[in-house]
Structure 1
Amino acid sequence: MRDTLFNPLLHDSWGRSARYGLDRLTNDFPSIRQNELVDVLASNAALQQFAQPAVKALAEKIADKQSVVILSDARGMVLNTVGDMQALQKAERFALAPGNLWSECGRGTNAIGTALAIDDGCEILGHQHYLTSNQGLYCAAMTLQAPNGQVAGVLDISGPANFSHPHTLEWVKDAAKNIEYLWMKQSLHADQWLMNLHPQIQGLDNLDELLLIFSDNVLMAANRAAMQTLSINADKLSKITFQEIFPTGEQVENNVPQTLYCYRQQRFFYRLRAPARVIFPVASTPSSPLCPALRGDVAKMIKLLNAGISLGINGETGSGKEYVSRALHQQSRWRQGKFVAINCAAIPESLIESELFGYQAGAFTGASKNGYIGKIREADGGVLFLDEIGDMPLALQTRLLRVLQEKEVAPLGSSHSWPVNFAVISATHHDLGQLVAEGRFREDLVYRLQEFSLTIPPLREWPALSSFITQLWQELGGERRGIYLHHALTETLAVHRWPGNVRQLRSLLKVLLALADDNEILTVDKLPVQYQRVADEVVPVLQQHDDRLIAETLKRFRGNISKTAKALGIARSTLYRRAARVKA
C-alpha cells in the first residue's frame, strides 16, 4: 500500500502486523466470553468512572456521523461502546462490541491497537487498516494515562470510512485530556501536595497545565503534560523527590502564582497547595470511649504498622475505613511503597484470585500476553488494603494465609514464587467471629489479619464533626474555587444522623460543589430538603460565637471581614467589635 511507504507510523505498524503473522483476509477475531468480560469490567472500574462523562459528550457530538465511541482497557479490550451501532454493518457491530480485542497483535493496524503501540493519538483511514475486513471503518484513538503514569486504556471513535472526519481526532484528544485531568485531580489524597505549573501564568488552572502530586517530598503522581515536559517516566514516580526536580525551590504552600526553575533550567509559574490536616476519628478498641485527642492512638497504630503488625479495622459501611488506612500508610515507614486496595466484595469471585496473586501469560482464556503481577506484588514495599475481607471466598483464604506466613507469592499458572514484604490492613463491617462460627472464615486467618484491631465509630459519633466537614470540603476543592460553607450550613450537617456515613457526606458535598458558582458562600437553603433544619435549632446565637471560631473563620477568609461576617451570619460591625477583642 502506497501510504505505508511515506507514512512512518503506518510503515512501522504494518511491519509489526506482518511480523505477528496475521492473515490479512482473516475473519477470526480475538474476543472473550460474557462471563470473562464481567471480570475485565470490574478490574477497570476507575477508568470507566472517569471516562463516562467524556464518552457521553463525545457520543452526542458524533450523533449525526453514524459512529460510535469506544473505551478500551490497556490491552485494547473493548469495555464500552456508545453511539449509533445500528447504522454500522452487522459484522462491524459485532467487532466493535464490548469483549472484542483490538490490539495490533490481534487485529493488525487499527487506531486502538496502534495508539497503544505508540502511546499517542492516531487515526486510521479505511484502506490503511491491515486486515481487509476492517477497511470499511474510519477510526481515531488516543491513549489514556492513569495518575501513576501507566497507560490505562484508549478512547476511540469508529465509523464508516466514507464519512468525512476532519475534526474527529482532535475531539478524541481533547476528551482524553479532560478524562486524565479529572482523574488526576480526583486522585489527590488529603495528606498530599498538589502542584500546578505552566510556562505562562495564564496557563494555570486549565487543561494544559502540568500537575504533580507529592507525598512527603516524593513525587507520587503526574499528568501526561508534566511527564513529557519534565522528562519523567513512570518508573520515577514514587522515587524522585521535589528537590531533584526543582533544585532551587522549597515545598512551601503558595496560593498566589510564583516562579521557579526545574532541573532543566525551564521557568514555570506555579501554585503549590499544602495537604489538609488529617483528622483521625478512631477508637483504639471497640469498647473504649472515644478520645478527644487521638494523637496517642494514631502514634500507636503507626508504630504497629511499622513493625509489620497486621491491622484489622472494623466499622459500618461508609465509615471511612479506607480513608484512615491511607492516612496511616502515608505516615508509616511504608509510605515510599504503594497503597494497594482491593475490595473483596466488589470483584467477582472468579477474578479475585488473579487480581490478588497475578497470573502467568496464557494462564487462562483472555489472559494478557504479558501476564499480570497481581495486587500482592504491587504492594511489595507498601501497604495491601483488603476491604470487606469478610466476603473473601473460603478457598482463597488458604492461599492468602500461606502468602502472609511465607512472604512469597506464586502467580496463577507459574511454578515460580516471588518474595514480597508489605504491611496488611484489612477492613470489614462483618463480625468475623460470627463468620468463623458459621464456617465461612478461617479462624487462623482472623488471627493473622487482626493482630491488632480498632474500630471506626459511625460518623454520627465523631468528635469535631464540623471541622471534619470543613476539611472534606477543602479536599474536594471547594475553597480552591472560592466557595465556602456558611457556618449555619456546617452546623446543620454536623447534627445529621448520616446513615451512609462518610460516603454519604462526601456525596452530598460533591453535589453542593457541582451546583455552586465560584466565589459563593453556601447557605442552608442550598441543601436538599431532606437535609435542611431550622437554623435556630442548630446554629449558636451570636453570644455563642466563641473567640476561636471567629479567629479560625477570619484566617480561612484571609482577613476578609465581609466574607467572614457572612459565613458566621453576623453583621460586619459586630464582627469588627468581636475581632478586636480576639486580637486584644
Structure 2
Amino acid sequence: MNSLNKNNEFVDVIAASWARCRGYGLSHSSQPVLNPVSSSELELLREQNRELLETTEREVLPYYENILANSKCLILLTDHNGAILNNWGDQRFVESARKPLFQGGTTWLEQTHGTNAIGTAIACGHAVQVQRNEHYLRSNRFMIGSAAPILDERQTLVGVLNVSSDAYLPQAHTLGMVRLMSQSVENRLLIRRYGAGHFLLTFNTNADNLDSQWSGILAFNDSNRVVAANRRARQMLDLDPEGQAPGELFDLGQQDLRQQTDLTQLPLRSLAGRQFHGQVKRPTRPAPVAAVASDTEADTGPESGFRFSDLEFGEPRIQRCIQQASRVVDRDIPILIHGETGVGKEVFVKALHRASERRQRPMVAVNCAAIPAELVESELFGYEKGAFTGASSRGAIGLVRKAHQGMLFLDEIGEMPLSAQARLLRVLQEREVMPLGSSESYPVDIRLVSATNQSLRSKVESGQFRRDLYYRVSGLNLELPPLRERTDRRELCRRLYERYREPHHHQSLPDDILDLFERHRWPGNIRQLINVLQVALAMADSDTIAMWHLPDDFIQDLQDIQSEQQPVLAERPTLVAGTDLDITAGDDTDTLLTVYKHYKGNVSRTARHLGYSRNTVYKRLREIGVR
C-alpha cells in the first residue's frame, strides 16, 4: 500500500479494491487472466449490446475527436460485465505483447485483472481513476485508466466507458472527459429509446446550458406520467421521478406541459424551491403501444396496454379467472393470484386495473422478492428524513401511499420478510400507514392484489408466512394455468407474435413453427415464449421464421421430450440445392464440413440448410477446429 498516492481523491476506493483483490487470491505478481473469445462469440456480444455500441460510436465519440486527436489514449467501451465491445484511439503506448488485453471480448473485472479503472468502476458504482502504481497487478502499471459507468434510464449498469493513456493529457482533464462522455451516452440512449414517442422535458439551472450533457431529461407520456429520467434529473430533483406527473415535480399551476410549444423555453420551479429553465420537445410519432394511463410504472413496451381481450382466446380457466376478478375488483375484496413463474400474473393484474373503476388512478406493482429484506419496510411504507443511515434528506412516501386511491399489486408476496408482514397487516386492518421514523399516520385507500408462485398455505404451516395476513390477502383466490395446459396456446402464440413483430418482420408465424410451439412443454411459460419469439424475430429479421432461427435450448427441450420415433426436426434435404452433392454419407462431422465448404464458409446458409441454429454451427465448427 506504500505505493498508493495518499493525496489521490480515490485513495479509499483504491484501498478497498486492493483489499478485494487480496480476497480474490491475487498477488502483485499475478498475471491478468485472458479468456479469448471467438469471432462468433464477439459478434454475438456486440449484437447483444448493439444499441449501446452504436450510440457511443455514432452519436458521442465524434464530438470528442478533436480533444483526443493529439493524445496517446485508447478509448474502451465494455458491457455491464466489463467485456470489451470495441476500442478507438491510439494503441502506440501499448506493447505488442499486451495488445490482446485490449481486444474485443476481453473482460476487465477485478477478479481477473486486479484493481483497474473498468473493474473498479463496476465494483464501486461510480467514476474512478487508477494511476500507474495503483493497479494491483504490476503488469498493468504501464498505464493510467479513467472509467465511468453508463447507466440506463432505470439506473441499471449497461456498460463502462474507459480512457487509458500515457499521461500526455492532464489526468483531471481525462477523468472529467470520461464522465462527460458517459453522461452523453446515457442521455443519447434515453433520447433514442423515448424521444420519438414521448414528450422530453430538458431542464437546467442556466438557460444557456439546456443543450449541455449535464441537463436533466424527463420523458413523459400522453397520460402525463414520467416514464424515464436521466441521472442528472434525479440528482437535481433529489428524488426518483418515475411514475409521477410533471406537476408533482414542478410548480406548474394550471399549466400542462403537453400543450407546450415545441422547444420553447420556460421557467420552472421545483417543489423544493429550486429555479430551473426548461424546454419541451414534443413526440414525433405516437408511442408504439399506449401505456395504461394510471400505471405508475408507466410501461410503454409491448407488454403494456393489455386488455382482458388480449389475454385469452378460448381457454376456459382464463375466462373463469377474468369473470371472477371482474366481479370483485371494484369491491373491497383482496385478490390472490396463484401461478407458476412466467404465466403472466402481472399482465393479468394490469388488465384488471384497466377494467376497474380505478383505471384513472395509480397501479403500483411491487416485486417483494426483488427488494432486499432490510429495505422492504422503507420501500413499502416510506420513511422520514434521517430515519436511518443513508436515508434521503427528503424522506420518501413509500409505495403503499403512492397507490392511494388506486391499486397495489404485491408480486411474490410469499417472499416478504415477517417484519414487513406485520406492518402490512396493520396497514390493511387500520387503513393507514406510519412511515419509519414518524409518529404520524396517513390514511390510505387501496385495492389489494397479490400474487405468488408458491403455496402460501405451506408457508403458513412452516411459520414463514403469517396466518392472519394470509386470510387478509386471500379474499378471492385465482389460479392461472401454465402455458402447456392452455387449450388456446396456438392462437396465443399468433397474437404474441403480432404484438412483438415490427413492420419489416414477416406478417405471421408459419404452421410448422406453430406445431413445434404446441409440442413444447414451456417450463418458463409465457415469459419463455416471449423470449423465444424475440430471439427468432431478431435472427430472422425480414425472413419467415424457420427452425434454425429458434434458440438452441428450445430445440434441445423438444428433443428431450420427444418420445415417439418421429424426429423433431423436419426432414433435412439430402441434396444441396442446385447440385448433386449427397450429404447423407459419412458422420455428422463430415456432413457439416461438406455443407460448410459448399456454402464457402457461410454459417447462416449452412445452419439454414441443416436445420440448426447458427450458434450450434459455430459451436460445432469450433469443436472440430475450423473456426
Task: Give the TM-score normalised by structure 1.
Answer: 0.54
Task: Give CA deviations for 1:412-454 in whole Å, capped at 9, x if unaligned.
Answer: 2222222222221111122222322333322221121111111
Could you say which residue in structure 1 is the equivalent of 2:470?
Answer: 446
**2:285 maps to which of 266, 270, 275:** 270
Could you say which residue in structure 1 is the equivalent of 2:436?
Answer: 412
Task: Give CA deviations for 1:337-374 in whole Å, capped at 9, x if unaligned.
Answer: 33322333343322322222233333333333333332
**1:175 maps to which of 181, 185, 190:** 185
Task: Give CA deviations for 1:193-246 in whole Å, capped at 9, x if unaligned.
Answer: x94799xxxxxxxxxxx99886xx724455679xx9xxxx97536999xx9847
Alignment of 1:351 with 2:356, yes or no, is no
Query: What is the CA–CA distance in structure 2 between the aligned matches of 1:55 and 1:182, rounded to whole Å?
Result: 19
Would you say the 8 A contact 1:483–1:520 is kept in 2?
no
Query: What is the CA–CA distance in structure 1 between the aligned matches of 2:147 and 2:339, rounded to whole Å?
Result: 48
Could you say which residue in structure 1 is the equivalent of 2:316?
Answer: 291
Would you say the 8 A contact 1:360–1:411 is kept in 2?
yes
Would you say the 8 A contact 1:483–1:516 is kept in 2?
no
How far is the alpha carbon of 1:405 from its aligned partner? 1.5
Relative distance call for 1:520 and 1:163 in structure 2 (3 A) is farther
Query: What is the CA–CA distance in structure 1 between the aligned matches of 2:410 and 2:308, rounded to whole Å?
Result: 22
Could you say which residue in structure 1 is the equivalent of 2:137?
Answer: none
- Aligned AA for 2:435? P
How far is the alpha carbon of 1:466 from its aligned partner? 1.8
Could you say which residue in structure 2 is the equivalent of 1:400?
Answer: 424
Would you say the 8 A contact 1:281–1:457 is kept in 2?
no
Q: Percent identity?
A: 30
Task: Give the TM-score normalised by structure 2.
Answer: 0.51
- Aligned AA for 2:496? L
Would you say the 8 A contact 1:426–1:449 is kept in 2?
yes
Could you say which residue in structure 1 is the equivalent of 2:123?
Answer: 98
Could you say which residue in structure 2 is the equivalent of 1:521?
Answer: 544
How far is the alpha carbon of 1:459 from its aligned partner? 0.8
- Aligned AA for 2:190? E
Would you say the 8 A contact 1:474–1:480 is kept in 2?
no
Could you say which residue in structure 1 is the equivalent of 2:521?
Answer: 497
SS where residue 218 of structure 1 aligns?
coil
Query: What is the CA–CA distance in structure 2 between the aligned matches of 1:439 and 1:471, rounded to whole Å?
Result: 42
Task: Give CA deviations for 1:305-325 in whole Å, capped at 9, x if unaligned.
Answer: 222321100112222212211
Would you say the 8 A contact 1:336–1:381 is kept in 2?
no
SS where residue 353 of structure 1 aligns?
helix
Would you say the 8 A contact 2:432–2:442 is kept in 1?
yes
Task: Give CA deviations for 1:262-305 in whole Å, capped at 9, x if unaligned.
Answer: xx99997535645676457989xxxxx962782x7535423422
Could you say which residue in structure 2 is the equivalent of 1:433?
Answer: 457
SS where residue 399 of structure 1 aligns?
helix
Query: What is the CA–CA distance in structure 2 between the aligned matches of 1:89 and 1:433, rounded to whole Å?
Result: 48
Query: What is the CA–CA distance in structure 1 between the aligned matches of 2:281 and 2:369, rounded to whole Å?
Result: 48
Would you say the 8 A contact 2:82–2:119 is kept in 1?
no
What pairs with 1:470-489 in structure 2 (closer than 5 Å)?
470-479=494-503, 481-482=505-506, 484-489=508-513
Query: What is the CA–CA distance in structure 2 between the aligned matches of 1:507 and 1:334, rounded to whole Å?
Result: 32
Query: What is the CA–CA distance in structure 2 between the aligned matches of 1:56 and 1:536, rounded to whole Å?
Result: 36
- Aligned AA for 2:182? V
Relative distance call for 1:360 and 1:481 in structure 2 (3 A) is farther
Would you say the 8 A contact 2:118–2:160 is kept in 1?
no
SS where residue 285 of structure 2 aligns?
strand
Could you say which residue in structure 2 is the equivalent of 1:236?
Answer: 245
How far is the alpha carbon of 1:498 from its aligned partner? 1.2
Relative distance call for 1:26 and 1:220 in structure 2 (3 A) is closer
Relative distance call for 1:274 and 1:64 in structure 2 (3 A) is closer
Query: What is the CA–CA distance in structure 1 between the aligned matches of 2:111 and 2:317, rounded to whole Å?
Result: 62
Could you say which residue in structure 2 is the equivalent of 1:342?
Answer: 366
Task: Give CA deviations for 1:526-556 in whole Å, capped at 9, x if unaligned.
Answer: 3343347879999xxxxxxxxxxxxxxxxxx
Query: What is the CA–CA distance in structure 1 between the aligned matches of 2:118 and 2:218, rounded to whole Å?
Result: 38
Could you say which residue in structure 2 is the equivalent of 1:463?
Answer: 487
Query: What is the CA–CA distance in structure 2 between the aligned matches of 1:366 and 1:330, rounded to whole Å?
Result: 37
How far is the alpha carbon of 1:169 from its aligned partner? 6.3
Would you say the 8 A contact 1:465–1:494 is kept in 2?
yes
Relative distance call for 1:238 and 1:365 in structure 2 (3 A) is closer
Would you say the 8 A contact 2:150–2:161 is kept in 1?
no
Would you say the 8 A contact 1:313–1:453 is kept in 2?
yes
SS where residue 425 of structure 2 aligns?
helix
Could you say which residue in structure 2 is the equivalent of 1:569?
Answer: none
Relative distance call for 1:486 and 1:236 in structure 2 (3 A) is same
Alignment of 1:306 with 2:330, yes or no, is yes
Corresponding residue pairs, total = 406
Would you say the 8 A contact 1:312–1:453 is kept in 2?
yes
Could you say which residue in structure 2 is the equivalent of 1:385?
Answer: 409
SS where residue 319 of structure 1 aligns?
coil
Would you say the 8 A contact 2:334–2:476 is kept in 1?
yes
Would you say the 8 A contact 1:312–1:426 is kept in 2?
yes
Would you say the 8 A contact 1:313–1:455 is kept in 2?
yes
Worse overlay, 524-533 or 416-425: 524-533
Would you say the 8 A contact 1:140–1:156 is kept in 2?
yes
Would you say the 8 A contact 1:359–1:374 is kept in 2?
yes
Would you say the 8 A contact 1:312–1:451 is kept in 2?
yes
Task: Give CA deviations for 1:65-87 in whole Å, capped at 9, x if unaligned.
Answer: 99xxxxxxxxxxxxxxx847699
Would you say the 8 A contact 2:366–2:409 is kept in 1?
yes
Query: What is the CA–CA distance in structure 1 between the aligned matches of 2:185 and 2:425, rounded to whole Å?
Result: 44
SS where residue 448 of structure 1 aligns?
helix
Please provide the CA RMSD for this pair: 5.4
Query: What is the CA–CA distance in structure 2 between the aligned matches of 1:139 and 1:282, rounded to whole Å?
Result: 46
Relative distance call for 1:213 and 1:293 in structure 2 (3 A) is farther
Query: What is the CA–CA distance in structure 2 between the aligned matches of 1:319 and 1:417, rounded to whole Å?
Result: 37
- Aligned AA for 2:285? Y
Relative distance call for 1:364 and 1:97 in structure 2 (3 A) is farther
Query: What is the CA–CA distance in structure 2 between the aligned matches of 1:480 and 1:271, rounded to whole Å?
Result: 18
**1:362 maps to which of 386, 398, 409:** 386
Would you say the 8 A contact 1:142–1:172 is kept in 2?
yes
Relative distance call for 1:426 and 1:155 in structure 2 (3 A) is same
Would you say the 8 A contact 2:108–2:116 is kept in 1?
no
Relative distance call for 1:482 and 1:405 in structure 2 (3 A) is same
**1:218 maps to which of 217, 223, 228:** 223
Alignment of 1:373 with 2:382, yes or no, is no
SS where residue 341 of structure 1 aligns?
strand
